[in-house]
């Protein structure tokens, strides 16, 4: 009898304990602390609560700050947390608005995606921290907005086909970093080259993410190679066979870039220790991201690859953060190089359309229309053609007018074409940087 009483007591205690455990709410974490915790301990189906800003693009995530998805530099690991949203809960009506502050409850787990070890939350509950009405409306980048652009461009006659070549590149780092705007930028540039300037599709090499095109929207373009070292090398080999020394090469890079930020410090990139060539005060090599690959592409290697190509003239439009630092590496005669920002600074997404600011205005100027087909006239000298100098000036002036996110300092595009590797913010057609760009056309 005493033993029966003993077991009953133990059973009651166990049940009580289990019941109590069930009722203990999961610990509330910040994104940063949960990431630190996951680095130290193995997390597996651990129940957690996390607060953050919710976004659903390019994949569902919590963020510490809405600036991160806007800049063209890889997000630090501590500022975002991937979310697994259950299918039956993924209807827009059930999910919070883009950019709103939420508390997520769910179970965290780690998996390996490409070269990255990712921490994700399987979402059980989402609670908005403010009512929908109280939320500040945040611009959510869309996927279909360039549909009108593709419809508005008509193919030009076979008669005036261009012999020029192009390399269009975007890596994106990983699925959390590969923004929709990178693809939109590529599509806008590709359509402009083919439909407005008569580039032959066989002379345009597209290197993008894992090597396959996005499937959304009717504006799809071919993708030839994956954005990893072998893919880029294959792209260079292809261009070698297309370039004769008499045709031009357009190089367009839209992506994340790394370098030395003037106030934040290192942000990717690397100290210029291997074959030193840098002249900036920080002596830093800039980098461009691949997709799902552990190391980035450094400017020295990129410049060497471009340098082995036999083009008549190189026209480069460089969108990544720190892209001003690529100008010195890529310098040379017969080269018009333009960057979205300075060597020590970030470049940004456009605040109201799903493109990057600098790229959007350069491409619109060249296309003579925006992505919706509205006419754009950047031909300031009225000769009926848009020179690379006119396209740069159009982007520089309109970009400067955008008081984007009330940033203390906006991005400052640079143009370099006199071969000294130093870009200027105000080029001109008569002397120094700008002379070559004034006579350079697609
Ligand atoms: Ca370098
Ligand atoms: Ca550099
Ligand atoms: Ca003109
Ligand atoms: Ca210069």
pLDDT band at residue 159 under the 50/70/90 scheme: low
Q: Which residue has the higher pLDDT, 277 or 155?
A: 277
pLDDT band at residue 401 under the 50/70/90 scheme: confident
For the chain, the structural domain boundaries read 25-134, 147-438
* pLDDT score at 161: 84
408 close to 368: Cβ distance less than 8 angstroms: no
Q: Which residue has the higher pLDDT, 155 or 106?
A: 106
Range from 15-19, 182-186, 298-302, 352-356 carrying the lowest mean pLDDT: 15-19
pLDDT band at residue 148 under the 50/70/90 scheme: very low
Determine the average pLDDT of the residues in 140-155.
Answer: 55
Q: How far is the CA of 296 from the centre of ligand 1 (A)?
A: 13
Render pLDDT for 283-328 as a digit per residue (tens, 0 to 9).
999 999 999 999 999 999 999 999 999 999 999 999 999 999 999 9
- Ligand at minimal distance from the CA of 325 is 2
* pLDDT score at 19: 47
Please state the three-class secondary structure of the chain as a single string: CHHHHHHHHHHHHHHHHHHHHHHCCCEEECHHHHHHHHHHCCCEEEEEEEEEEEECCCCCEEECCCCHHHECCCCCHHHEEEEECCHHHCCCCCCCCCCEEEEEEEEEEEEEECCEEEEEEEEEEEEECCCHHHCCCCCCCCCCCCHHHHHHCCCCCHHHCECCEEEEEECCECCCCCCHHHHHHHHHHHHHHHHHCCECHHHEEEEECCCCCCCCCCCCCCCCECCCHHHHHHHHHHHHHHCCCCCCEEEEECCCEEEEECCCEEECCEECCCCCCCCCCCCEECEECCECCCCCEEHHHHHHHHHCCCCCCEEEEECCCCHHHHHHHCCCCCEEEEECCCCCCCCEECCCCCCEHHHHHHHHHHHCECCCCCECCCCCCCCCCCCHHHHHHHHHHHHHHCCHHHCCCCCCCEEECCCCCCCECCCCCCCCCCHHHHCCCC
Q: How far is the CA of 185 from the centre of ligand 4 (A)?
A: 26
* pLDDT score at 178: 93
Percent of the chain with pLDDT over 70: 83
Q: Which residue has the higher pLDDT, 378 or 128?
A: 378
Q: Which residue has the higher pLDDT, 207 or 70?
A: 207
- Ligand at minimal distance from the CA of 304 is 1
Determine the average pLDDT of the residues in 265-281.
Answer: 88
Q: Is the pLDDT of residue 122 over 50?
A: yes
CA dihedral 269, 273, 276, 280 (to 10 degrees): 50
Range from 7-21, 124-138, 269-283 carrying the lowest mean pLDDT: 7-21
- The two three-digit tokens of residue 132, written as one number: 């929908």
Determine the average pLDDT of the residues in 99-115.
Answer: 84
Q: How far is the CA of 119 from the centre of ligand 2 (A)?
A: 33
Q: How far is the CA of 383 from the centre of ligand 3 (A)?
A: 5
Q: How far is the CA of 417 from the centre of ligand 1 (A)?
A: 18
Read off the pTM: 0.89
* pLDDT score at 273: 79
Q: How far is the CA of 215 from the centre of ligand 2 (A)?
A: 35
Percent of the chain with pLDDT over 90: 64
Q: Is the pLDDT of residue 134 over 60?
A: no
- Ligand at minimal distance from the CA of 388 is 3
Q: Is the pLDDT of residue 18 over 80?
A: no
Name the phi and psi angles at 158, rounded to 5. -55, -30
- Ligand at minimal distance from the CA of 286 is 2
The highest-confidence range among 260-269, 379-388, 407-416, by mean pLDDT, is 379-388
pLDDT band at residue 162 under the 50/70/90 scheme: very high
Q: Which CATH code of 3.40.720.10, 3.40.50.720, 3.30.70.260, 3.40.50.1460 fits the domain covering 147-438?
A: 3.40.50.1460
Omega before 70 cis (within 30°)?
no
Render pLDDT for 372-390 as a digit per residue (tens, 0 to 9).
888 999 999 999 999 999 9
Q: Is the pLDDT of residue 93 over 60?
A: no
Q: Which CATH code of 2.40.110.10, 2.40.50.140, 1.10.150.120, 3.40.50.720 fits the domain covering 25-134?
A: 2.40.50.140
Alpha carbons 355 and 347: distance in angstroms, whole number: 12
Residue found under tokens 């210029």: 272
Determine the average pLDDT of the residues in 213-239.
Answer: 90
Alpha carbon 9 to its chain centroid, in Å, reads 62
- Ligand at minimal distance from the CA of 258 is 2
Q: Which residue has the higher pLDDT, 157 or 279?
A: 279
* pLDDT score at 182: 94
Determine the average pLDDT of the residues in 213-231.
Answer: 87
Summary mean pLDDT of the chain: 86
Residue found under tokens 């929709």: 180
Which residues have a beta carbon within 5 Å of ligand 3, which is an ion? 379, 381, 383, 385
Q: How far is the CA of 115 from the centre of ligand 2 (A)?
A: 25
Length of the chain: 442
Q: How far is the CA of 285 from the centre of ligand 2 (A)?
A: 4
- Ligand at minimal distance from the CA of 323 is 2
- Residue 312: count of CB within 10 angstroms of its CB: 14
Determine the average pLDDT of the residues in 129-145.
Answer: 60
pLDDT band at residue 1 under the 50/70/90 scheme: very low
Q: How far is the CA of 299 from the centre of ligand 1 (A)?
A: 5
Q: How do 335-339 and 314-318 pair as beta strands?
A: parallel
83 close to 123: Cβ distance less than 8 angstroms: yes
Alpha carbons 29 and 64: distance in angstroms, whole number: 12
């Amino acid at each position: 009898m005493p033993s029966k009483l003993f077991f009953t007591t133990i059973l009651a205690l166990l049940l009580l304990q289990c019941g109590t455990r069930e009722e203990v709410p999961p610990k509330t974490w910040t994104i940063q602390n949960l990431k630190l915790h996951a680095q130290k301990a193995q997390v597996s189906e651990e129940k957690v609560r996390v607060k953050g800003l919710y976004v659903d693009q390019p994949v569902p995530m919590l963020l510490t700050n809405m600036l991160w998805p806007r800049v063209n530099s890889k997000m630090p690991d501590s500022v975002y947390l991937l979310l697994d949203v259950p299918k039956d809960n993924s209807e827009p009506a059930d999910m919070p608005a883009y950019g709103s502050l939420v508390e997520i409850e769910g179970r965290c787990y780690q998996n390996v995606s490409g070269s990255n070890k990712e921490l994700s939350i399987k979402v059980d509950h989402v609670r908005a921290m403010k009512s929908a009405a109280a939320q500040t409306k945040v611009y959510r980048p869309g996927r279909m907005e360039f549909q009108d652009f593709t419809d508005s461009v008509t193919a030009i006659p076979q008669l005036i086909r261009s012999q020029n070549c192009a390399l269009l590149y975007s890596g994106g780092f990983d699925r959390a970093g590969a923004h929709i705007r990178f693809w939109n930028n590529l599509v806008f540039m590709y359509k402009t080259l083919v439909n407005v300037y008569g580039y032959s599709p066989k002379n345009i090499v597209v290197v993008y993410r894992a090597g396959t095109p996005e499937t959304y929207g009717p504006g799809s373009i071919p993708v030839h190679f994956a954005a990893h070292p072998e893919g880029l090398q294959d792209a260079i080999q292809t261009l070698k066979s297309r370039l004769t020394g008499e045709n031009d090469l357009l190089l367009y890079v839209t992506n994340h870039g790394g370098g030395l930020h003037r106030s934040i410090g290192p942000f990717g990139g690397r100290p210029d220790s291997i074959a030193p060539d840098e002249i900036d005060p920080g002596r830093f090599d800039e980098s461009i991201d691949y997709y799902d690959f552990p190391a980035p592409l450094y400017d020295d290697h990129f410049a060497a690859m471009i340098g082995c190509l036999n083009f008549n003239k190189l026209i480069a439009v460089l969108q990544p953060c720190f892209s001003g630092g690529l100008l010195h590496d890529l310098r040379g005669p017969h080269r018009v190089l333009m960057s979205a920002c300075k060597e020590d600074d970030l470049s940004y997404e456009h605040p109201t359309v799903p493109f990057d600011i600098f790229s959007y205005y350069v491409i619109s100027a060249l296309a003579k229309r925006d992505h919706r087909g509205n006419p754009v006239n950047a031909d300031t000298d009225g000769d009926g053609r848009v020179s690379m100098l006119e396209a740069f000036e159009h982007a520089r002036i309109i970009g400067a007018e955008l008081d984007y996110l009330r940033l203390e300092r906006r991005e400052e595009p640079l143009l370099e074409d006199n071969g000294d590797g130093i870009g200027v913010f105000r080029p001109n057609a008569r002397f120094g940087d700008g002379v070559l760009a004034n006579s350079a056309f697609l």
